[in-house]
Amino acid sequence: MAAAPVWSVDPRTGKQREQVAVEATAQEVDAAVRAAHDARGALTDRGVRAAFLRTAADELEAARDRLVEAADAETALGPARLTGELARTCYQLRAFAGIVDEGAFLDVVIDHPDDTATPPVPDLRRYKIPLGVVAVYSASNFPFAFSVAGGDTASALAAGCPVVVKAHPDHPALSELVAAVLRRAAARHDIPGGVLGLVHGFEAGIGLIEHPLVAAAGFTGSVRGGRALFDAAAARPVPIPFHGELGSLNPVVVTEAAAAERGEAIGAGLAGSMTLGVGQFCVKPGLVLAPAGPSGDALLKSLTEAVSDTEAGVLLDHRMRDNFVAGVAERTGLPDVESPVTPGAGGEHTVSAGFLTVPASRLAEEGAHDLLLEECFGPVTVVARYADDSEVRGVLSRLPGNLTATVQLSAAETAGEGRGAELVRDLTPLAGRVLVNGWPTGVAVAPAQHHGGPYPATTSTSTSVGGTAIERWLRPVVYQGTPEALLPAELRDDNPLGLPRRFNGSLEH
C-alpha cells in the first residue's frame, strides 16, 4: 500500500495547497531515530552546541520572509503575529546557547571524603548528563515557538540530546522548511543532519513514542492526544519521561472591590486576552469569576462592547472550527447559560468571538454544567457571576490543574487589605503561574518563567518555557571513589572548564 500523502492546506479556504511529503513508514521512523541516536556524539562539546544554537537562530532570521509567508499560508495567523513569534523563537535559541555556555545546568556537586561524618562520606561527584534521543510533538497554534525549532527542540539540543520531531499536520510545509534550516545550521558545525529528524503522520507519532531508542518526549496539544501518548510512554517495556502540555482553563477571579474600582478596564482587558490569536492561546482565560452586583454589570457591559467590536477570524483548521461551533452550541444549551455576545460560526471559514454567562452556583455543584469547566479552544470565555465568597471557593475547589490563574484586585487589596493574599494562596495550588492584575496571554521567555501546572495542564512538574526547560532532558549521575584521571572534565578538582559548582559545601562561580 502506498504511503498516504501529506498536504498543506489553506485554513482560509479549506483547500489543499500542495503535497508536501508522505506519511512516514515504520522503517522511516526507525531510520530517523537511529540517525538521531548516531548523532549524539556530535553534541558532546558544549561550545559546539552553543554555536549550533546561535547559528540556527541566525539562519532562521535570514530565511524570515520565506518562513513567515509559508507559515501564514498554512495557519492564517498573519505576518505580524508570525514575525514576532519567529523573533521569539530565535531569542529562545540564543538564550539556551547562553545557558550552555554558563554550564550551571549541569548542577555540578563535589564532596570530598569526610570520615568524621555519620555515616562517613566517601568521595562523591555529581552532575547531569543528556538522556538521549528526544521525540518532540509540534503544536498547531505556535508554528515556530512550539514546533520544529521551538522550545522543546531548543532545550533538548542545549542539553545535548538529538531530536526527532513529529510534524503537526496543520503546517507540514513550514515544518519541512524549518527542519532544512536547522540541518543547514548543523552542517556549518560538522554536526550530522540526523541530529534533527522530521516525520509526518499519525502512525509515525505512535511509532516514535514506542521506539526503544527514544529516551524522552515533549508534547503540546490536546488532552486526548497527549494522554494517549503519555499512556503509551508509560506502557513501554522501558517507560520514558513524557512532558506533555495538554489543556488549561486558566481561571480569573475578579473581586467585587476590583470590579467597582475599574470594571470597564477589566472588561476591556479580558476581551483583548480571550480573543487574542482568535482565542487559540493555551493560556487564554476560559473561566472568569465576577461579582453578580452592579460592579460586575459594568464589567460585563465593557466586555460586551469590546467583544462585539472583534472581527470574525480563521481558526487553524476546519476541524477546530467545527469543534468550536459544536462546543459553543452545547454550552449555550445548558440551563441558565446566557450569551450576551453569541460566539460561533462567523462565516463559511471563520468564527465569531463571544462569551457566556452563568450563575456561579451552577458550577459549584457537580452536574451537567461541568462542561463549562472544560477548555473550549477558540474565542470564547465563560463568566460565572458569584453572589458571595463561598461561591468563589466552591467553584475553585472543583477546578482541574491549569497553566495559569489570575486574580484582579483593587488598589487597597494589592496593598494587603481584604482577601487579596488569601485569593493568591487559594489560586496557587491550581496553576503553575499566578498573576495579579494582569492577563495570562503572553508567556515571557525568561529564566524565572514557568509554563506548566498540575494535570491536565501538564503531565509533569516541569516547564516548557524558560531556562529550566533544559532540565527535562537530563539525568543526574554520581561517581564515587573515582580517580581524577578517570573522571569527566566537569568533575575534576581543578575545574578545567570553569563551571559554577558546589565544592565541599560552598558555592563557586
At 479, which helix (H) or strand (E)? Answer: strand 474-480
Helix residue ranges per DSSP H, 276-317: 294-308
Residues across the chain: 509
Q: How far apart are CA 302 and CA 298, in angstroms?
A: 6
The answer to whether the beta carbons of residues 137 and 205 sit under 8 Å apart is yes
Active site annotation includes 90: no
Q: How is residue 286 written as a grid cell?
A: 476560559
CA distances from 484 to 127, 272, 500 (A): 15, 59, 19
Active site annotation includes 245: yes
Neighbours of 309 (CB within 10 A): 11
Q: Which of 256, 282, 375, 490 is catalytic?
A: 282
Strands 474-480 and 124-130: antiparallel
Where does residue 247 rank: exposed (0-12), middle (13-18), buried (19+ CB within 10 A)? buried
- The whole-angstrom distance between residue 125's C-alpha and the CA centroid of its chain comes to 34
Q: How is residue 210 written as a grid cell?
A: 514506542
Coil/strand/helix, residue 99: helix
Q: Which of 28, 85, 176, 245 is catalytic?
A: 245
Q: How far apart are CA 386 and CA 406, in angstroms?
A: 16
Q: In which residue are the cell numbers 499519525 written?
A: 202
The answer to whether the beta carbons of residues 494 and 98 sit under 8 Å apart is no
Per-residue three-class SS string for 413-436: HHCCCCCHHHHHHHHHHHEEEEEE
Coil/strand/helix, residue 478: strand
Whether omega for the bond prior to residue 119 falls within 30 degrees of 0, making it cis, is yes
The answer to whether the beta carbons of residues 208 and 229 sit under 8 Å apart is no
Selection from 174, 164, 186 nearest residue 48 by Cα: 186
Q: How far apart are CA 357 and CA 138, in angstroms?
A: 34
Q: How far apart are CA 32 and CA 28, in angstroms?
A: 6
Query: CA triplet 276, 165, 143: central angle to 5 degrees?
Result: 20
Q: How far apart are CA 90 and CA 367, in angstroms?
A: 46
**DSSP state letter for 320:** H
Which residues are part of the catalytic machinery?
245, 282
